[in-house]
């Protein structure tokens, strides 16, 4: 298999792992706080990532002359994850995933003032179409029931944080082994989840809260039930696989080609939402998904046709 073929295979593996990770988080969100879920997930994921690190060359790969950049990257990814999962706890899986996929469009917009990269009128039009898809999903006539439209801003904020991280990475030119990057991020998740537990682990900040996302973020830590331990283990392994295989994919293949295959997450999210949670996307969500996905794929196609590697051709992942 060629490098490009292997890259596509690796990104598809990462996409499947990513959607399974989302399913696991959503399954656990009704009983456990997010910081506890992240802690157990990170313990498992960090163990797996250290095995990958050992196979690629050992602890020497963790050395870097830009520790601050790695900390900032990990912090933005962590914030992006927490915002997304807070939205996922109350939103249909397909809708949350679709809204997060505006990240490539945000990255393209940020690349104009931050990186000075030219973006032509066709791609600007595509961005407008993608944002129109967001507007369709958030239109006043769309009834989102108890969750309200405010919850829809959570995956959008997650996409904005993720986009800022990717543009910053491109501007500063950070490079590391795939396993080292995964270790940095999982270590950050582990430390932050412990810090949140130390401050809010008793659940006192969740008292009086009524919004499910706030309760998910701040409810008290409870010991996992035996039947939930396999789910905790699964999301840990999936988290490690996402970062590692996505890193391999972007090392072997052209970014604009590889990134387009990440949109396989959208039909997978619809499938898992239907089979696991009984969620059937409403018409506005179907239209929003079509506009967002179509705009993102068009942007990738334009970049590939012009032989450019713009900032929008970056991985769209939730480690």
Alpha-carbon span 212 to 147, nearest angstrom = 8
DSSP characters over 194-262:
HHHHHHHTT-GGGTT--SHHHHHHHSPP-PPPGGGHHHHHHHHHHHHHHHHHHHHHHHHS-HHHHHHHG
Output the CA torsion 145→150→155→157 (10° steps): 180
pTM as predicted? 0.83
Neighbours of 115 (CB within 10 A): 15
Quote the pLDDT of residue 312: 46
Q: With residue 8 as reference, give the H or E element that holds it.
A: helix 3-28
Given a contact cutoff of 8 angstroms between Cβ atoms, the answer to whether 163 and 318 are in contact is no
CA atoms 280, 286, 292, 294: torsion sign: positive
Residue whose C-alpha is closest to residue 97's, from 106, 109, 84:
84
Q: What residue spans define the domains of the chain?
A: 3-305
Count of helix runs (H) and strand runs (E) in the chain:
13, 0
Confidence bin at 197 (pLDDT 50/70/90): very high
Q: Per-residue pLDDT tens for 139-177?
A: 876 667 666 677 889 999 999 988 887 776 665 555 667
At residue 244, the pLDDT reads 81
| 300 contact partners, CB below 8 Å, separation of at least 6 | 104, 256, 257, 259, 260, 312, 313
CA–CA separation, 177 vs 57, rounded Å?
9
- pLDDT mean across residues, the chain: 83
Tens of pLDDT, residue by residue over 272-308, are 999 999 998 888 889 999 999 998 888 877 766 665 5
* Residue the block writes with tokens 């939930």: 228
The larger pLDDT score, comparing residue 103 to residue 266, is at 266
How would you class 304 by CB atoms within 10 Å of its CB: exposed for 0-12, middle for 13-18, buried for 19 or more? middle
Q: Quick one: tokens of 222?
A: 């409870």
DSSP per-residue codes, 26-56: HHHTTTS-HHHHHHHHHHHHHHHHHHHHHHH
Are 172 and 69 contacting, i.e. CB atoms less than 8 angstroms apart? yes
Percent of the chain exceeding pLDDT 70 equals 86
Closest CA to 161 of 247, 84, 262: 84
Q: What is the arithmetic mean of pLDDT over 48-63?
A: 86
Residue 279: other Cβ atoms inside 10 A: 19
Model confidence at 316, pLDDT cuts 50, 70, 90, reads low
pLDDT per position as a tens digit, 199-241: 988 888 888 877 788 888 889 999 999 999 999 999 999 988 8
Residues near 128 by Cβ (< 8 Å), separated by ≥ 6?
295
Question: What is residue 20's predicted lDDT score, i.e. its pLDDT?
Answer: 95
């Amino acid at each position: 298999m060629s490098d490009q073929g292997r890259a596509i295979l690796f990104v598809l593996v990462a996409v499947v792992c990513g959607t399974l990770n989302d399913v696991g988080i959503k399954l656990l969100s009704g009983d456990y706080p997010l910081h506890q879920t992240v802690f157990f997930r990170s313990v498992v994921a960090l163990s797996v990532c250290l095995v990958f690190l050992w196979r690629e060359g050992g602890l020497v790969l963790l050395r870097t002359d830009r520790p601050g950049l790695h900390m900032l990257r990990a912090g933005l990814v962590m914030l992006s994850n927490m915002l997304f999962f807070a939205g996922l706890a109350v939103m249909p899986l397909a809708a949350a995933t679709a809204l997060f996929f505006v990240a490539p469009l945000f990255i393209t917009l940020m690349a104009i003032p931050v990186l000075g990269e030219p973006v032509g009128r066709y791609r600007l039009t595509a961005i407008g179409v993608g944002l129109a898809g967001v507007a369709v999903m958030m239109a006043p006539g769309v009834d989102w029931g108890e969750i309200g439209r405010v919850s829809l801003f959570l995956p959008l904020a997650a996409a904005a944080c993720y986009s800022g991280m990717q543009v910053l990475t491109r501007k500063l030119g950070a490079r590391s082994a795939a396993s080292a990057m995964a270790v940095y991020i999982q270590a950050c998740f582990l430390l932050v989840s412990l810090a949140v537990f130390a401050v809010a682990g008793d659940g006192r900040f969740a008292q009086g809260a009524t919004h499910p996302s706030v309760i998910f973020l701040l409810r008290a830590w409870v010991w996992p039930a035996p039947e939930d331990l396999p789910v905790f283990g699964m999301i840990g392994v999936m988290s490690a696989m996402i970062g590692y295989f996505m890193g391999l994919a972007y090392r072997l293949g052209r970014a604009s080609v590889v990134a387009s295959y990440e949109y396989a997450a959208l039909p997978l999210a619809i499938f898992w939402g239907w089979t696991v949670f009984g969620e059937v996307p409403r018409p506005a969500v179907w239209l929003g998904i079509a506009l967002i996905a179509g705009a993102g794929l068009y942007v990738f196609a334009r970049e590939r046709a012009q032989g450019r590697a713009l900032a929008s051709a970056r991985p769209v992942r939730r480690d």
